[in-house]
Homo-oligomer: A and B are copies of this chain.
Amino acid sequence: MTDQKEHLVLIFDNLIRMKNECSCSIFSACEISDITVKQINYLKVIDSHDEITFSRLAEITRNSKPTITEMIHKLDRMGCISRKSCPHDGRISYLYLTERGEMIARAEQNALQQVIERLIDSLDCHEIDLLIEILKKVR
């Protein structure tokens, strides 16, 4: 029982390490080494809201509009976002992630997917089904 637990801890430690390696290589592929947690969070908010405006982003993140302007300029200089002005209202700009911004915003999720791909490659179809059945029971 204790032995099983230790065994599982080692196995999951290894899976977590694999996932970390994947996200690290995603970040280094983006050639952005000095991005901050806050900046990544802004990218995630932009990623999860289509055609978001400065004002809306300020609202969601509970910051002032000048704060957003500054942050967007920074993320723009890093090549993570682009903006397009609204054709119907010249005051409004919509924010979009660039390919690089999207990679960063989704790095963790993509790292998980890569680990699962490796997992699928290492197992046969029956084993995968079995794994799914077992892990589905965990509550």
Contacts and interface: CB of A to CB of B under 8 A. Distances in A.
B8 A132 contact: yes
A5 B130 CA distance: 13
Nearest to A18: B138
Interface in A58-107: none
A29 interface: no
A78 to B, nearest CB: 20
Given A12-B112, A16-B112, A130 B134 contact: yes
Interface in A100-126: 112-113, 115-120, 122-123, 125
A137 B122 CA distance: 6
A139 B112 contact: no
Interface in A1-47: 1, 4-5, 7-9, 11-16, 37
A65 B1 CA distance: 46
